[in-house]
Amino acid sequence: MDCEIGILGGMGPEATLDLYRHIINLTPATRDQDHLRVSIYSNPKIPDRTLAIADGGESPLAALVESAKRLEAAGADIIAMPCNAAHHYLAEMRRTVGIPILDMIAETCAALRRRFPEVGAAGLMASDGTTHSGIYHRALEAEGIAVVLPVAEDQAFIQSAIAEVKAGLHTEATRLRLLATGERLVRSGAQAVILGCTELPLIFTPADARPLPYPVLNSTRILAEAAVAWVQAHSRLR
């Protein structure tokens, strides 16, 4: 029997849907039976990760572990968690969950190094929680890549844009300002831009990224690639 992907979602629901859409699109299939088995547990009640990391709010760790264990009990063989900030708790989750949990941050940084080996500095567009946690800083620096952060005004906009996506309120003006934020990161020395929040690709679409004069890394799609590759490799071993 093929391996099964468990998606630990709800952070937010649209980002969860986006990950599943990427998994479907990345799977070579001509009929229903060719697709991968996927269990989705969408738990939007998980406490806010940014509030916990940056502002001393309620920790989401217990809810993350409980959600992961639900997927494990349901038969998932691997967990993909489409929330960058939640990976601040990844090491603690792995200590108590019995199946592998993919590392979205490590996968994104490795993809950047693999696809663009000449890049020495990357811009990071992410939530305040992800930025404050330093999870991308540590992973990028391990690859020899410096981090370029937005100025305070742009970071405040990114946080508000994430909130707009979660509320279903983002507009064309949001999209255009997000693109301009990426351009300012490039002018500050970034040779590539990481969309380090799973809400941002819902604004900054692939069609938008193609004409830009710098590479863009979609962390949601990269997580989907890693999940599909893991299942394909491990299903062959069964």
Structure tokens at 54: 């940056």
83 is catalytic: yes
Cβ-contact 231, 36 below 8 angstroms: yes
Count of helix runs (H) and strand runs (E) in the chain: 11, 7
SS3 28: coil
Cβ-contact 80, 98 below 8 angstroms: no
Dmax (CA) of the chain: 51
Task: Please pick, among 38, 83, 147, 195, the residue that the annotation labels catalytic.
Answer: 83
Which phi and psi angles does 75 have, rounded to 5°? 110, 5
Running DSSP on this structure, what letter comes out for residue 211? T
Q: Which bin fits 10, alpha (ψ -120 to 50), beta or left (φ > 0)?
A: left
Task: Please pick, among 7, 104, 161, 197, the residue that the annotation labels catalytic.
Answer: 197
Burial of 192 per CB tally in 10 Å (0-12, 13-18, 19+): buried
109 is catalytic: no
Q: Which residue has the tokens 């929680």?
A: 129
Q: Which residues are marked as active site?
A: 83, 197
